[in-house]
Every structure is written in structure tokens, then in C-alpha cells.
Structure 1
Amino acid sequence: MSIFNQITYFMLVAEIGTFLVLLVPMNFIPVRARKAAMNFGAKILTNDTVVWISRIILLIVGGVFADTLMRLQKLDSALHKGEEGSEGHHHHHHDSPLEELQFKSKLFYSQRNMYLSLMSLFMTVVLYRRVKDIYRILQLEDSEDSNKTTIKHLKQQVEVMVKSAVSDTDKKSAAPASSSATTTSSSSEKTDSKKQVVEESEIPASSSDDPTNSSAGMRKRK
């Protein structure tokens, strides 16, 4: 097994392990903590060195897949040529069982490398979509929590505004009652004062204008 095939194998194992870890529900962890962990992982993955290393690994895996396809094509063409020769000369296309075993082992290893490289490339796409979906779910949960907190604050503000409005209406209803009481008392005081003025003005007028008093005075003078 060459070094490129080993890289492909270990990459596939790492991808499968990561995918299994991401399948575990993390609802027991707070949303903010999960989002912080995702942001930290995104910062690591967006680093230049990590990006270039991942690109190189993907190129290696893609090269292994292309190489295995070419080997399988060559083996398939050799197999068809051997079958055509055996049909013409009425003998098997392999001279010995050892050559047949070597041919089958090459075919097996080529097929194995093709499956490993193809599965590794497929798991790369699956992991990308899985991580993206998890991040979107975390964003939705975070927005839901923020909406709940804003709704709670709005309810508290509405309750405070309703209480203040009720107190203002109570004060306004109490103010006209007190003003009406003061106006009635002032109007009663004004009427009393007017009565006193009228009584005082009537007393001297009656004493000066009475004809009996004037006639009595004239009689005394005579």
C-alpha cells in the first residue's frame, strides 16, 4: 500500500469518525456554547495553512481515484485481450496459476483503492453539507432565543405602560372632582358675599326714603 493510498485511507477514517460525532444530538449543550465552538472551528478551517493542506489532500485523493480508474481500464483491456486470444488458440490466457493470482490481486487492489478514494471524496461533500446544516440550525435556535427575550422585554414594557396609563387616568378622574368641589365652594362664597352687600345697601335706603319719618319730623317742628 503506497503512501497516497494510506493518506486516502486515513482521510476516510477521519471523515467517517467526524460524521458520526456530528450525528450525536448536542441539545444538552447551550446554543451559545455550540455556536462559539462552531465559530472557533470555522476560524481554524479558514486558516491559510489548513486550507492549503486540505486542498493538497483532496488533490491526492482525486489523483488516487483517477489512477485507479486508469489501472482498472488497463486490466480490463488486458483481460479482454486474453479472452480473445484464448478463444483463438483454445487455451487459457494465463500461462500459470501464479500469473492468474497476480492478475486477480492487482484487480482487487485497484478496485479497493477506487472505492476508498471515491468514498473519501463523497464523505467530503457529506461533511460539508452536514456542517453547513448544523450551523444554520444553530443560527435559527439563536434567533429564536433572541426573539423570545425581546418578546419578554416587550411584554414587560407593555405592562409598565399599562400601569402608568391606569394611574394617569385615575389622577385625571380625581382632578375634575376636586376642581368641581372648589368651584362650588367659590360660587357659594360669592353668593353669600352678594347677599351681604345687598342687605347693607337696603338698610340706609329704607331709613332715608320712609315718608312717615319725614312727616313726623315736620309735625314736631310745627
Structure 2
Amino acid sequence: MTLYYSLVFVLLLSEMGIFMLLILPLPFTWRKKLFQFISESALVAKLQYGMKITFIFILILFVDSVNRVYRVTQELHNAPRGTSTVTMGPERMEVQARKFYSQRNMYLCGFTLFLSLILNRTYALILDVLRLEEAVANLRKENNKNAASGNAVTEVSRLKKELEKKDMEMEVLKKQAEGLAREYGELSDLYKVVEGRKGEVRKDL
């Protein structure tokens, strides 16, 4: 394996390791800090820019390996009809080996590019999930505050109702007191009249 394909293989292993780190079931706070560091770090941004350039070269290698596979396949396909110098024996084995290496390089570059797309999409989805979880946590806090304030409002309304009830009872008591005072006054006047009449009767006697 040539040097650049060895580097592609190392990059593929690195992508597999990063993907395993992304899907680890970490706690929400740890995951939030990790992705916040990744999204805000200047070093990570430079690495991402360098990786984009690297993937362009890997795409070129992928296209070249596909072209090599196609040419070797055509060479093997045309061999029995005499359109190629490849007939049998060591020469055919050499062509088969070239086909194998070309296919290996094609799969290596293809899987590396495909996994890079999966990593990019997984990273974006995890960021969206973190934002949604944070929004849900904030909504829960607001709901708890609203529930607490709602309980306070309910308590205030209950106290107001009790106060209104007490006011109504006080009004009833006032009316009863006024009625009793009025009846007492009438009875007092009647008593005075009766006493006055008794005094007049005694004088007449």
C-alpha cells in the first residue's frame, strides 16, 4: 500500500474512533461541554478546514481508483476475445492483482468519504438534539415557575374569596345589629309610653 493510501486508512480509523466517541451515552452536561468546545474552538475550526481539503484529495483518489478498476475490468473482459495482450498465466495473475488493489483502494476511499458524510450529519444532529434538550429544560423551569406563581395566584384568589365572605358576614351582622338596635329603640319608646300611662293612672287614683 502506497503512502497516501496508508494515510487514507489512518484517516478512516480516526473517523471510526470519532464516530464511536460521538455515539457514547455521555451525560447531558458532559456532552454539552464537549460539543460547545468543539463548536467554539479555533483549533478545531482550523482542523475542520484542513480536513475538507484532505477530503477533496481523497475524492480525487476515489475517482482515480474507480477509473483503474474500470480499465482493469475491461482488460480482463476483452482478454478472451484477443483484444488484449493479457491471455493467461502470470500475466493474467498480474492483472488480477492490479484489479484487487484498485478495488481495495476504491473501497478504502469510498468508505472514508462516506463515513465523513455520516460524521458531519451525526455531529449536526447531536447539536440539534442538545439545543432541543436545553430548550426543553428551560421550558420545564418556566413551567415550574409558572406553576409556583399559579399556586400563589390561586392562594391569593382563595384568600380574596374568604375575605369577601367575611365582609358579607360582617354586613349581615351589621344589618342584624341595626335591626336589633331599631327594635330596642322601639321597645324603649313603647316602654316609656307604658310607664307614662302607668304614672298617669297612679295620679288619677
Q: Judge same fold: TM > 0.5, yes or no.
A: yes
Equivalent positions of 1:139-218 (< 5 A) are 139-185=131-177
Identity percentage of aligned residues: 19
Q: Which has the larger radius of gyration?
A: 1
Tell me the equivalent position of 1:122: 114
Q: Does structure 2 conserve the Cα–Cα contact (< 8 Å) formed by 1:69 and 1:114?
A: yes
Tell me the equivalent position of 1:78: 75
Tell me the equivalent position of 1:54: 51
* Distance of 2:93 and 2:185 partners within structure 1: 136
C-alpha change, 1:74 and 1:4, in structure 2 (3 Å) is: same
User: Which sits farther off after the overlay, 114-123 or 180-189?
Assistant: 180-189
C-alpha change, 1:85 and 1:184, in structure 2 (3 Å) is: closer
Tell me the equivalent position of 2:37: 40
TM-score (norm 2): 0.75
Unpaired runs of at least 5, structure 2? 201-205
Q: Does structure 2 conserve the Cα–Cα contact (< 8 Å) formed by 1:4 and 1:64?
A: no
Q: Please report the RMSD computed on the Cα atoms of aligned residues, expressed in angstroms.
A: 3.6
* Residue 5 of structure 1: how far off its partner (Å): 1.0
Q: Does structure 2 conserve the Cα–Cα contact (< 8 Å) formed by 1:72 and 1:110?
A: yes
* Residue 138 of structure 1: how far off its partner (Å): 2.6
Q: Deviations over 1:124-160 (max 9, x none)?
A: 1221222222233333333333333222222222221
Query: How many correspondences in the alignment?
Result: 200
Letter in 2 for 1:38: F
Q: Does structure 1 conserve the Cα–Cα contact (< 8 Å) formed by 2:12 and 2:112?
A: yes
Q: Using CA pairs under 8 Å that are at least 6 residues apart, name the structure with larger relative contact order, 1 or 2.
A: 1
| 2:87 counterpart of 1:93 | yes
Q: Does structure 2 conserve the Cα–Cα contact (< 8 Å) formed by 1:19 and 1:127?
A: yes
C-alpha change, 1:45 and 1:19, in structure 2 (3 Å) is: farther
What secondary structure, in the 3-state scheme, does the structure 2 residue paired with 1:93 have?
A: coil
Unpaired runs of at least 5, structure 1? 208-222
